[in-house]
Amino acid sequence: MASHRKSRPAGTRVAGIRTPALATAALTSVALLSQSANAAPEADDKPSLEEVEKKVDDLYRQAESATDKYNSAKEKTTKQSKRVDTLLDDVAKRTQKLNEAREELGSFAAAQYRTGASAPDTATFLLADTPQDYFDQTQLMDRMTGRQKVAVDDYVTQQSETMKKRQEATESLETLTETQGDLKTAKATVQRKLADARDLLSKLTAEEKARLAAIEREKQQEAARKAAELARQQAAQQQAQEQAAQQQDSGSSSTGSSSSTGSGSSTSTAPADSSYATKAEKALAFARAQIGKPYVWGAVGPGSYDCSGLTQAAWKAAGVTLPRTTYDQVNAGTTVPLTDAQPGDLVFFYDDVTHVGIYIGNGMMIHAPKPGTYVREESIYYDGESAIHSVVRPA
């Protein structure tokens, strides 16, 4: 007897049998794609070598900015501490005078009590041994009353001035505490930025460090090329100025010869900036003697320097006092065009004026670059032309 059950299509059956295998394959593919998708961001998350270099440079610049804030706060703290000490000494002296005035008033009060000056005149007259004693006591008290008035006035004055100085000392102490807080904050910021930079560099492989060094060498070569270009430009400008001066001298000599006979005498006029050149030579001699000493943030010598500490010390050796920080030094002289820069001029960098070097000519400078480096000669284009902020002649 024929069966009424319909047979399954061959294709359906085969599909039914293969479904688990296809599903497994599909799931495996999804898993692999998922792993690949997850792995890709990890590779992308790692910064490129150029990004690391930029980040490290930015951190060093931020550390220099924080160093300037630290230097400023330290300078203010020193000045404020001296002011507080002076005020406290003054308060102590005034307090002593106040106590002396108080003692004098006390002696007057005791004298009045002993002589009976506080009693009514009638009672004093009746209690006196003789009328002459009464009149002697009255004259004495009249004289004492005049001295007492002076003593009272002096006491009031001393009390008022002492209270005023105490208030000034209190306010100065509060300012000192606030400045010391700024000092600690700036110091912590510097240390944090430098630690971040070291951490980034420590994660580089040997190959990456070698590539980074190669990038740095390329930057130095470009900086040297730019310095040489500036040197040629300055030399051409100097030559043109000398030729113009010679022509002017020749014209003056001709005019003098035609207007005077037999008595022409030649005079030599020293350059207007000769005194500056003399001071600059002393500053540069000092700066050159510091080459090879380490950069240490907040240091002003003699064993180590930060950038503004070096320029301040160099010009101090030439008899010129500069402020402590870069953003104060940039205002301590006359701004000149870069093409007119002379040895001894200060070259400032970045929009926030966080770095400074001392120009030595031919597009070169002496500076204390950053932590981990040493005072050295280097092109003023060491970080590119756009990094140069201004040139200032300090004396």
**Residue 378: strand, helix, or coil:** strand
At 207, list the tokens: 């190959």
**CB-CB contact of 291 with 376 (8 Å):** yes
Active site residues: 307, 355, 367
**32/84 Cα distance (integer angstroms):** 72
**63/186 Cα distance (integer angstroms):** 9
Look-up of token digits 């960098």? 349
Closest by CA to 394, choosing from 321, 337, 338, 305, is: 321
> For residue 166, how far is the Cα from the chain centroid?
32
What element of type H or E holds 349?
A: strand 346-349
**392/322 Cα distance (integer angstroms):** 12
Look-up of token digits 């940039």? 330
**Residue 121: strand, helix, or coil:** helix
**Residue 29: strand, helix, or coil:** helix
Alpha carbon distances (Å) from 63 to 109, 260, 294, 356, 374: 67, 67, 16, 14, 16
Closest by CA to 234, choosing from 362, 360, 357, is: 362
Peptide bond into 371 cis (omega under 30): no
Residues with Cβ within 8 Å of 75's Cβ and at least 6 positions away in sequence, in order, are 324, 325
